[in-house]
């Protein structure tokens, strides 16, 4: 079995979709569905069974897993960058990952887990995914801190020699509709265009960036899952790896592409950056992909224009999920 934690979520369900495309249905989905609508991500997918995240971790802790596991792909986490309950993040993001990693190493199970580009903080220390760099990073929010804390724990205890941590940059694409405020700007902007014919972007408070010219590394979810699953097939490749588009692009570029995809004139309004975000706002991110390329990943990545257009025209406009193509 391949266990995908967070398997009903955005990247998790996309991983299951791609595994299905590769002919793999021997999948256990671990999640907690709650009261949002992420359960809809599961409807088109093929998998063997579903387990609640608490039930699963208890089975792990008491060594009561009654099926053979080939790999655990750990996408389950609270990914809200605005989450203020630090104790919850320590338990849910850090301790849970610790438990799974130790179990996998003990049982010789492949372990791939989601880290985050949020670990890089304001980017002043660069975006180099060399394993040892996790010791010097200063994340801007508790979510990024919880992710970097495990990266550092894994490094200091020699775990990164045998497991893989994926530092996801700005992932966008199908199956993210349940994420509320944590949805990508593509999803939010599509709703704004549909409802109002224009898009709001934050003004810049940084003298080096004009309004809308703040830059992020955007990566289409289909590319993100392919890069992740590369490590399922290549078990000799371990450590921390950036997963992104590899090229910083302006918010203006992203929104302009969206307007073109829906066939409407570009209309952008710049609004004030909320005070609570001002000190935690990233003005530039760009994944250094040298390490994953050196590991052997060769598949071409979608351009921003290709990814946004596919997402908008084949999923958002048709209200489809991955697997319903």
Q: Which residue blocks in the chain are alpha helix, DSSP H?
A: 10-21, 53-61, 86-89, 96-107, 142-156, 185-196, 221-233, 251-262, 275-278, 290-294, 304-311
User: How do residues 63-85 score in pLDDT, each as one tens digit?
Assistant: 999 999 999 999 998 877 778 88
Residue among 47, 94, 143, 172 flagged as catalytic: 143
Give the strands of the sheet with 239-243, arranged side by side: 49-52, 27-31, 2-5, 71-74, 110-116, 164-168, 239-243
Is 179 among the residues known to form the active site? Answer: yes
- What structural domains and CATH numbers belong to the chain? 2-170+219-245+286-301 (3.40.50.720)
User: How do residues 142-159 score in pLDDT, each as one tens digit?
Assistant: 999 999 999 999 999 999
Give the pLDDT score at 134: 98
Alpha-carbon dihedral sign for residues 324, 217, 231, 62: negative
CB contact at 8 A, 10 and 170: no
Residues 6+ apart with CB under 8 A from 267: 197, 198, 199, 259
Q: What is the pLDDT along the chain (325 residues), one digit of tens a residue?
A: 999 999 999 999 999 999 999 999 999 999 999 988 999 999 999 999 999 999 999 999 999 999 999 999 999 988 777 788 889 988 889 999 999 999 999 999 999 999 999 999 999 999 999 999 999 999 999 999 999 999 999 999 999 999 999 999 999 999 999 999 999 999 999 999 999 999 999 999 999 999 999 999 999 999 999 999 999 999 999 999 999 999 999 999 999 999 999 999 999 999 999 988 888 888 999 999 999 999 999 999 999 999 999 999 999 999 999 999 8
Rounded to 10 degrees, the C-alpha dihedral 143/146/150/153 comes to 140
Diameter of the chain measured on Cα atoms: 58
Strand partners, 2: 27, 71
Residue among 40, 179, 198, 320 flagged as catalytic: 179
This prediction's pTM: 0.96
Which of the 8 DSSP states describes residue 48? S
User: How do residues 86-124 score in pLDDT, each as one tens digit?
Assistant: 899 888 899 999 999 999 999 999 999 999 999 999 999
């Amino acid at each position: 079995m391949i266990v995908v934690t967070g398997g009903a979520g955005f990247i998790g369900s996309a991983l299951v979709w791609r595994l299905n495309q590769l002919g793999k249905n021997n999948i256990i989905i671990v999640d907690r569905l709650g009261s949002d609508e992420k359960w809809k991500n599961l409807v088109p997918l093929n998998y063997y069974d579903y387990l609640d995240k608490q039930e699963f971790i208890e089975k792990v802790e008491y060594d009561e897993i009654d099926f053979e596991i080939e790999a655990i792909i750990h996408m389950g986490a609270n990914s809200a960058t605005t989450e203020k309950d630090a104790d919850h993040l320590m338990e849910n993001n850090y301790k849970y990952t610790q438990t799974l990693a130790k179990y996998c190493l003990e049982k010789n199970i492949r372990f791939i887990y989601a880290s985050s580009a949020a670990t890089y903080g304001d980017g002043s220390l660069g975006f180099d995914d060399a394993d040892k760099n996790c010791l010097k990073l200063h994340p801007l929010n508790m979510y990024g801190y919880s992710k970097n804390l495990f990266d550092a724990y894994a490094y200091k205890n020699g775990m990164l020699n045998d497991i893989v941590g994926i530092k996801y940059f700005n992932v966008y694409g199908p199956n993210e509709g349940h994420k509320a405020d944590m949805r990508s700007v593509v999803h939010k902007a599509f709703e704004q265009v549909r409802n109002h014919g224009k898009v709001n972007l934050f003004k810049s408070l940084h003298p080096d960036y004009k309004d809308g010219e703040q830059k992020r590394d955007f990566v289409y979810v289909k590319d993100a899952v392919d890069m992740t699953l590369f490590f399922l097939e290549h078990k000799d490749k371990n450590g921390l790896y950036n997963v992104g588009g590899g090229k910083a692009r302006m918010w203006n570029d992203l929104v302009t592409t969206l307007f073109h995809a829906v066939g409407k004139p570009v209309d952008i309004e710049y609004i004030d950056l909320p005070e609570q975000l001002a000190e935690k706002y990233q003005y530039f991110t760009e994944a250094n992909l040298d390490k994953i390329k050196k590991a052997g990943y060769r598949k071409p990545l979608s351009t921003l224009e290709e990814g946004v257009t596919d997402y908008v025209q084949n999923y958002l406009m048709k209200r489809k999920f991955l697997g319903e193509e």
